[in-house]
Amino acid sequence: MYAAPKQSRFQDILIICLRQLLSVTFIVYATFIPNDYPNRLPKPRRYARLRNMSDLPHADVVGSMIRPPELLAAREEVAAGQITPSEFKRIEDAAVDGAVAAQEAAGFEVLTDGEMRRLSFQSQMPEAVDGFGEFDIDAFLWGDWRGDERVGDSLTERPATLGVVGELRRKRHLSAEEFTYLRGHTTRMPKVTLPSPSLFANFWSPSKSVEAYPTLDAFLSDVAQIIREEIEELIRLGATYIQLDAPHYPLILDPTWAAFYESQGRTGEDWVAQGIELDNAVMDGFTEATFAFHLCRGNQGSRWLAEGGYDRIVEPVLQRVNAHRLMLEYDDERSGSFEPLRGVPNDKTVALGLVTTKSPRAETLSELSDRITEASQHFPHEQLAISPQCGFGTSIVGNRLTIEEQNAKLRVVAETAQNVWG
C-alpha cells in the first residue's frame, strides 16, 4: 500500500511563510486599492461621435494625399532589401506625420493619415488577406483613362493574371495599424477609409476563381464579411468616423464600362442594387460610428474614367445607401448639375467635392462660396459641406500636383467652410 511521505520541517516553515504573505497582500489590497480601481484602468480612446448632423464638420477630406519622394524611394528600397522593414516603417511614419501636420495646419477638424501606408486606396484588402492570388499595382490602375491636355489619355489593360485563387483568409487587420497610429498623433477626429465590398468584383475571374468561389456572389459575401469585421475592430479601437470608397457606381452605369460588369453576369442596374445591399450590410448595426460614402468617376495620375451627372444613381445609390454623409465629386462639368441633390434624403449630409485634385488650378473663396450657394437651392444649406473632389494620391502614382499645391487646396477647403458656415 502506498504511504505518503512525511512532511519535512522545512516544508512546514515554507507553508507558514506563504500564508503570512497572502494575508499581508490581502490587507494591502483592501486598505490601499480603491473599490473603483477597475474603472480607472485605461480604456480605448474615444472621440466625439459625429452622428448628429449639427456635429458634422463643414470641411471634410476624402482620404489620400501625395506620397513624398522619400517614401516612394523607401518603398523601392525595402522591396529590394536595401533597407530593413524597421527603417522603412520610420520613413512611412514620418510621411503620415507630414500628412497629419498639413491637414491640421489647413484647419481641418477631421483628418486621415493620407493613406501613406497603401499602394492604392483599395490595396489593403489583398495585402492583408490570403487568396487573392498574384497582383500588382495594375490591378488597381487598369482602364481607359482620359486626361486633359497636360496629361493626355492612357490605356492600361486588365492584368491577365488577375483573379482570386483561394478561399479568403485574413492574415492581419486591414487598417487597424493606420488608425491606431493616427489616433495617437492627433487630437482631431481620425477618419478611416475602407473600400466598398463590390469594388472587388474586379478580382473574380470565371477562368481562375471558380474552384475557390463558384460564384461571384460567394466571393463578394466573404469580402463583405472581412470588411464588416474590420469595422468592428476599428470601432473597438475607438474609431467613430469611417468612409466607404465606392468609385465604381458611376462607372457601372456608364456605357463604356457597362460591358465589363455585364460580362460578369448581370445588368448594371442589378450590380448597383447588389453592391448597395453589401454596403448597407457592412455598416448595419454599428451605431457608435458615423459613415461617409464617397463617389467619383476614377482618379489616377490626374485622369478619369467616366463622365456624367448623378441623375441615374439618385434612387439606386444616393437614396438607398445607409451612410450619413455623401462625399460627391463636383469639381467640373463632368459631374453634371446640382439638380440631383433634390433627391437626396434629408437625413443625410452632402460634402460637395468642389476643389479639384486633378490639376493645380487655384480655386478662390468667392468661386467656391458661389457654388455652395447654388447647391443650397437644391439641398439644405446647413446640411452641405465642402471637400476636395477625391484623394490627391489615390495610389502611389499620385496626381500631377506638387505637395505645396495640394496643401494650398486643403487650406482653401477649410477657409471656405469657415467663410460660409462660420
CATH no. for residue 411? 3.20.20.210
Q: Which residue has the higher pLDDT, 102 or 26?
A: 102
For the chain, the helix, strand and coil percentages under 3-state DSSP, each to the nearest 5: 45, 15, 45
CA dist 396 → 137, 243, 399 (Å): 9, 20, 9
DSSP secondary structure code for residue 314 in this structure: I
Whether 28 has a pLDDT exceeding 50, the answer reads: no
Q: What is the pLDDT of residue 227?
A: 98
Summarize pLDDT for 219-278 with one digit per residue, the tens: 999 999 999 999 999 999 999 999 999 999 988 767 767 776 677 667 878 889 999 999
Residue 155 has pLDDT above 60, yes or no: yes
Note down the domain range covering 256: 55-421
Place of cell 467613430: 240
CA distances from 406 to 50, 102, 246, 270 (A): 26, 9, 23, 38
Amino acid 53: pLDDT: 56
Within a domain: residue 73? yes
Give this prediction's pTM.
Answer: 0.86
Q: Return d(Cα 104, Cα 318) in angstroms, integer.
A: 30
pLDDT of residue 371: 98
The Cβ of residue 33 has, within 10 Å, a number of other Cβ atoms equal to 9
Q: In terms of Cα–Cα distance, which of 293, 292, 291, 285 is closest to 249?
A: 293
Q: Across residues 343-370, what is the average pLDDT?
A: 97
138, 349, 385 from 375: Cα distances, Å: 37, 12, 10
Q: Quote the number of domains for the chain.
A: 1
Mean of pLDDT values over 102-131:
96
Contact 61/112 with Cβ under 8 angstroms? yes
Rounded to whole angstroms, how far apart are CA atoms 158 and 209?
A: 16
What is the distance between the alpha carbons of residues 134 and 233, in angstroms, rounded to a whole number?
27
| Burial class (CB within 10 angstroms; exposed 0-12, middle 13-18, buried 19+) of 337 | middle
Does any domain span residue 261? yes
Percent of the chain with pLDDT over 70: 86
Please report whether residue 44 resides in a domain: no
State which H helix or E strand residue 416 sits in.
Answer: helix 403-421
Specify the pLDDT at position 35.
Answer: 42
* Measured distance CA(328)–CA(195) in Å, rounded: 16
Residue 294 phi/psi, 5° resolution?
-105, 130
Domain assignment present for 28:
no
Output the pLDDT for position 263: 72
Please work out, in degrees rounded to the nearest 5, the angle formed at the alpha carbon of residue 87 by the alpha carbons of 82 and 91. Answer: 110
Rounded to whole angstroms, the Cα distance separating 300 from 138 reads 11
Q: What is the mean pLDDT of residues 174-189?
A: 97
pLDDT of 287 > 60? The answer is yes
Report if residue 13 sits inside a domain: no
Contacts of 72 (CB under 8 A, 6+ apart): 396
Cell of 329: 465629386
Q: What is the pLDDT of residue 45?
A: 43
How many angstroms separate the CA atoms of 182 and 111, rounded? 9
SS3 32: helix
* pLDDT score for 115: 97
pLDDT of residue 24: 36
| 48, part of any domain | no
**Tell me: the pLDDT tens digits for 46-104?**
444 444 555 789 999 999 999 999 999 999 999 999 999 999 999 999 999 999 999 99
At 162, list the grid cell: 488577375
**Any domain includes 215:** yes
Task: Please check the confidence at residue 379 and state whether its pLDDT lies above 80.
Answer: yes
Looking at residue 253, what is its pLDDT? Answer: 65
Instruction: Write down the pLDDT at residue 382.
Output: 96
Phi, psi of 168 (to 5 degrees): -70, 130
Average pLDDT for 370-386 = 98
Residue 116: band (very low, low, confident or very high) from pLDDT cuts 50, 70, 90: very high
In terms of DSSP bridges, do strands 169-170 and 154-156 run parallel, antiparallel, or are they unpaired? unpaired
What pLDDT is attached to residue 266?
75
pLDDT winner (highest mean) among 122-136, 201-215, 407-421: 407-421
